Chains A and B, each alone.
Chain A
Amino acid sequence: MTGQPDQEWGAECTSRGASLGPAILALFLLSPSFSTRALAAGDSVSADMEPYYEWTVKNLAITTPIGGRRGNAARGRLLSTERKKGNCIACHALPIPEAEFPGEIGPPLMGVGKRLSEGEIRLRIVDAKQVNPATIMPGYYRNPKYLKNVKKKFRGKTLLTAQEIEDLVAYLVTLK
């Protein structure tokens, strides 16, 4: 793997208990030739072509779907564990048994559809800093012009597309 950027967002190798066996396994999983993932880097849905859609916050919620898109919960479920997409699992536990070793930086998202309204969930995904300015959680649909020192490949782009945001919202509201 020498010469490869060996570390992708949240996929920092090794496993729980971090023993060497799984470390080797993780290396294997990280290698570019091994692709079981539904969406590989940059293919299918991409933020490349899309315009940026403005959104407005009221009472710590965004009630209107971004870009007027209609979400698909099944796709949202996939995105939530997709390393190069939402990768929510890096920080949050989710009721997805096949996704092992969830992170514990954010609160578990089980029952989030009971705790928060659809609009509140949307704001937390779009720009969690509106709720807590100091948060570590990335803003998945912030105006890219406010971001600094972005790697060239990602400049001018939101982390996720409007459609992907709506897919995730559609999925999270089902977590009752």
Chain B
Amino acid sequence: MLATTALVSLSWVHAIEPKSGYQWLSEEAREMQDDEFANPGYLVVDTGRDYFKKAGDNGKSCASCHGNDGEELNAKSIAMFPKFDEQAQRPITLQGRIHACSREHLGNAPMKYDGKKAIALETFVRNLAKGERVNVNTVGPIAPFVRKGKAYFETRRGQMDMACAHCHVYYVGVRLRAQILSKGQLNGFPTFRLANQRVNGTHSRFRQCENLLRSRYGKAGADEYVNLELYMMSRGNGLKIETPAVRY
């Protein structure tokens, strides 16, 4: 009796326990991710570092406030994004925070969300928190936004009429054609995708899966994607940040 109970609860834990996409990578892809010289994501980290040090229109750079190599940034805090933005009374992603700094503190013209420059900066900054555990708050004023993101994740959409959850909850570990489905975790983002040979932001990746579903997708940076990122990142609470991860 005790044994059965233990088994049941074990499989339940397995089902809800977050797992990084790393789990389903081939040996070669893992080696590529782990080797800073082989992992093309590190080129983007370097580009991001250059932008980080570059003075904006008002003469200040990110480095002016956060240290030459970002050493004044707190890894634990980076791991908490998306966070509740008290001023705006809604969630803000790490990239959203970077956009705000660039506009407000450097006086720069707005960057494109998930554009090359913003992705480079996000990749550099999140890489500073590599190894830190994802730690997104889901209670308090942010809770309604988490629920919205969850609803998005679980709603059927597009001509395929599937929900994200169909693949990333119910068929995890199963092959869709040659591709093993993962839990759709965000701990490795921005990720270098072998499929498109570039570093992808979370919202761009959402759009790619929505395209698969032949679904009307939002713009990178849109509120619905901020909520989705918030929910999906919180599903991975406890996972180590792997940025820049290598993925299919």
Contacts and interface: CB of A to CB of B under 8 A. Distances in A.
Q: Which of B157, B159, B179, B193 has the most CB of A within 10 A?
A: B159
Interface residues of B, number: 43
Given A18-B248, A136-B162, A12 B212 contact: yes
Contact of B248 (A8, A13, A102, A151): A13
A133 to B, nearest CB: 11
Given A5-B211, A23-B248, A151 B216 contact: yes
Interface in B209-241: 209-217
Nearest to A4: B196
Interface string B54-98: 000000000000000000000000000000000000000000000
Contacts of B24: 18
Contact of B26 (A17, A27, A101, A144): A17
Interface residues of A, number: 48
Given A12-B195, A159-B159, A101 B178 contact: yes
B160 interface: yes
A56 interface: no
A14 B247 CA distance: 10
Contact of B29 (A4, A20, A102): A20
B32 interface: yes
A101 to B, nearest CB: 4
Contacts of B211: 5, 7-8, 151
Given A147-B161, A148-B156, A148-B157, A105 B176 contact: yes
A123 interface: no
Interface stretch (B121-129, B138-146, B166-174): B166-174
Contact of A89 (B159, B162, B177, B180): B177
Identify whether the interface residues of A are mostly helix, strand, loop, or mixed: loop
Given A12-B179, A89-B177, A101-B178, A27 B195 contact: yes
Contacts of B248: 12-14, 18, 23
B26 A7 contact: no
Contacts of B32: 20
A9 interface: yes
A126 B26 CA distance: 36
A48 interface: no
Contacts of A20: 26, 28-29, 32, 194
Interface of A: 1-2, 4-20, 22-23, 26-27, 30, 89-91, 100-105, 136, 138-139, 142, 144, 147-154, 157, 159
